[in-house]
Chain A
């Protein structure tokens, strides 16, 4: 079964603790992404990676860190420096589709993080 898995589905942490969200894909996609979604809002890009051992900051990277040591894995760490970490986090991957330059994204089911 091909796809993207994120674990856990729900995560609870105390303020001041770092927490790592898992994202794994077996689609053999090169590019992977992390988004944050707040209630009633769209997705905001945190980090993305187009190849192994390389990643780029998105619009809201402050307080987050990532690694891309393997093609299939792109974990996201929410650090204590992130002021409002409670949110729904979505991981995605993409592969070129159709004509050169067209990419569609495949999303995982998301992790809902609550920090109190």
Chain B
């Protein structure tokens, strides 16, 4: 069964705006990861946050993790049209990965 559930399912914003997507999961984890998928392609790893971390940054990405609420958020700042893709959270429990259903992000130029 899938561990993660992303919210919202779809998000449409103007270029330059920030995009926030959320992920909830069910059981304890070693880490939580975010991936990006362009239409019809494989997934690309974006960022990993460990269970003992609360926030992590990478370029325009900011990830938070709240293990008490079993939730994470991904913030993309100053969005670009090229950020248009689906974004998935994945939880890692002893090298088994469970992916959420994804958030489809559309950035309008």
B12-20, B61-69, B74-82, B95-103: which lies at the interface = B95-103
A42-B88 contact given A59-B1, A98-B48, A109-B41, CB 8 Å threshold: yes
The winner among B43, B48, B101 for most chain A CB atoms within 10 A is B43
In the assembled complex, A108 has its CB within 8 A of some CB on chain B: yes
Give complex CA distance A107, B33 in Å.
Answer: 14
Contacts of B33 in A (CB 8 A): 104-105
Contacts of A45 in B (CB 8 A): 96-98
Size range of the chain A interface in the assembly: 20 to 34
In the assembled complex, B109 has its CB within 8 A of some CB on chain A: no
Contacts of B42 in A (CB 8 A): 4, 90, 92, 107-110
Closest CB-CB distance, B65 to chain A, in whole Å?
Answer: 13
In the assembled complex, B45 has its CB within 8 A of some CB on chain A: yes
In the complex, the 3 A-B pairs of residues with the closest C-beta atoms, listed nearest first: A107-B42, A43-B99, A42-B101
16 contacts across the A-B interface (CB closer than 8 A): A41-B101, A42-B88, A42-B101, A88-B40, A102-B48, A103-B92, A103-B95, A104-B33, A104-B45, A104-B48, A105-B43, A107-B42, A107-B44, A108-B42, A109-B42, A110-B42
Q: A41-B102, A105-B45 are in contact. List 18 more A-B contacts (CB 8 A).
A: A33-B97, A42-B2, A42-B4, A42-B101, A45-B97, A58-B96, A88-B40, A94-B95, A102-B30, A103-B92, A103-B95, A104-B33, A104-B48, A105-B35, A106-B45, A109-B41, A110-B41, A112-B40
A residues at B contact (CB < 8 Å): 4, 31, 33, 35, 40-45, 48, 50, 58-59, 88, 90, 92, 94, 97-99, 101-110, 112
B residues at A contact (CB < 8 Å): 1-2, 4, 30-31, 33, 35, 40-45, 48, 50, 88, 90, 92, 95-102
